[in-house]
Structures are given as C-alpha cells and as structure tokens.
Amino acid sequence: MNKRTLTYGFLFGSIAGAITAILAAPTSGKELRYQIKEATDEFAENLKDIRLNLTRLKNSFSKLTGEGKEIAIEIIHDIKTSINEWQKDIEPAKQSLFNELKEIQKTIEELELKTNKNA
C-alpha cells in the first residue's frame, strides 16, 4: 500500500470521525464551536507528530541504507582479497599438478608407442 494513500486515509478518517462525534453530540452552538476548535488544535498537533515521526523514519531508513551499502562494500572487498590470497596459495600446487599431468601424458604416449611396436 502506498504510504501517501495510507497517510491521507488516516488524516481524512480522523477528520471525519471528529466531525461526526462533534455533530452527533447534543451541545449548544458556543460549546460546539469550542469543541471544533479543540478538535482542530488536537488534529494539528497529531499532524505535527505524524510529520515528525515520518521524518525520523525517513532519516533512519536513509542511515540504515547507507550503513548497509558500506557493509556490502567491505564484504565485497574482503571476498576479493580472500580470492586473490587463495589464488596465490594454490599457485605452487597448481604448477605441481600441471607438471604431473605432463609426466602422465608422457608416460601414456610412451606406452602407446611400445604397444604399437609390439602389435
């Protein structure tokens, strides 16, 4: 649901409820005007509170988003560093495996030559 729609719905619902309550109660004109003024003042105060809370929520969300971005950047940097270190660590083993594969391939070729000569 859209935040703006929710806020407007809350706002107009509060106004309609206050007006209905005031008009439904049996009071004199002077008392009715006083109640309308009080309801308006209370409504204005509630509106200020809503604006303040929305501003705080927006600031908190912005701060959280910024912190999340910083953490993601740190994690990505750590992962890249770990991968680079891992690649450096396995380089000797990789070269050793490459040499052994060459030796195995050479042995296979020699066996094929001997097999072809004997056939």
* Cα separations in angstroms, 76 against 30, 45, 69, 73, 89: 69, 46, 11, 5, 20
How far from chain centre, in Å, is Cα 81? 25
Distance CA 51, CA 57 (A): 10
What's the start-to-end Cα distance of the chain, in Å? Answer: 82
The torsion angles phi and psi of 26, rounded to 5 degrees, stand at -75, 105
Written as tens digits, the pLDDT of the chain (119 aa) is 567 777 777 777 777 777 777 667 666 667 767 777 777 788 788 788 888 888 888 888 777 777 777 887 888 888 888 888 888 888 888 788 888 888 888 888 888 888 888 76
- 71-107 burial by CB neighbour count: b if 16+ within 10 A, else e? eeeeeeeeeeeeeeeeeeeeeeeeeeeeeeeeeeeee
Contact 20, 35 (CB under 8 A): no
The structure's pTM equals: 0.40
